[in-house]
Amino acid sequence: MTTIFSKIIDKSIPADILYEDELALAFKDINPQAPIHFLVIPKKAIATINDIEEADKTLVGHLYWVAAKLAAEMGFAQDGYRAVMNCNEHGGQTVYHIHLHVLAGKALGWPPYQDKL
């Protein structure tokens, strides 16, 4: 499935890219939800967490490695941050190409939802 993120990967639409290697890309979120908010995505198109296959385990770990590398380089690793993936409708997923949200720059609220169980 082609998504807006495929177009960011192939550079047919612009993004504020923070990191790129052969497996992954990190870029600033267009609608930031924290003072620092970027996305780390695999170049391989995987629609949701549910579609991660056994052969993708190292790739998904690599996304966390990129997040931690950027956190260190950008200077917010020690203060802390959140690195999360949303899955499907109840998770709030809107782009069906897995992506790690990295949110930082302030103390983030927890739990992240307001409604009652």
User: Using CB under 6 A as the criterion, which residues of the chain lie in contact with ligand 5GP when the complex forms?
Assistant: 4, 15, 27-31, 86, 92-95
Q: How far is the CB of 57 from ligand 5GP (least distance, A)?
A: 21
CB-count exposure of residue 38 (10 Å: 0-12, 13-18, 19+): buried
Q: DSSP letter for 86, please.
A: -
Residues acting as catalytic residues: 99
C-alpha span between 48 and 9 (Å, rounded):
17
Is 54 or 98 the residue whose CB approaches ligand 5GP more closely?
98
Is 54 or 113 the residue whose CB approaches ligand 5GP more closely?
113
Is 78 or 105 the residue whose CB approaches ligand 5GP more closely?
105
